[in-house]
């Protein structure tokens, strides 16, 4: 999930950069700003989801180690 969000964010930021380059002469930046904001939101969401997954993985790993110690 995290990888998918990062790829979508990168694509959105690339589209945003392209739209900014096209909008420079006309001065209409609405669509470029939209893609820029969507890309930033996806990056933040991906980082938050990744942090939660890392915490869960660490928690299950330490619980598994505790169970192994009890069995020994």
DSSP 8: H
State pTM to two decimals.
0.66
**Amino acid 40: pLDDT:** 92
* Rg value, the chain, Cα: 20
Q: The tokens of 64 are what?
A: 């598994």
Q: pLDDT 10s digit of each residue in the chain, 72 long?
A: 788 889 999 999 999 988 888 877 777 788 888 989 999 999 999 888 888 887 888 888 877 777 777 776
């Amino acid at each position: 999930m995290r990888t998918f969000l990062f790829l979508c964010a990168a694509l959105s930021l690339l589209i945003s950069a392209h739209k900014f380059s096209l909008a420079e002469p006309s001065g209409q930046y609405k669509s470029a700003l939209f893609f820029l904001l969507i890309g930033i939101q996806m990056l933040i969401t991906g980082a938050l989801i990744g942090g939660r997954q890392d915490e869960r993985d660490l928690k299950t790993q330490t619980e598994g180690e505790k169970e192994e110690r009890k069995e020994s």
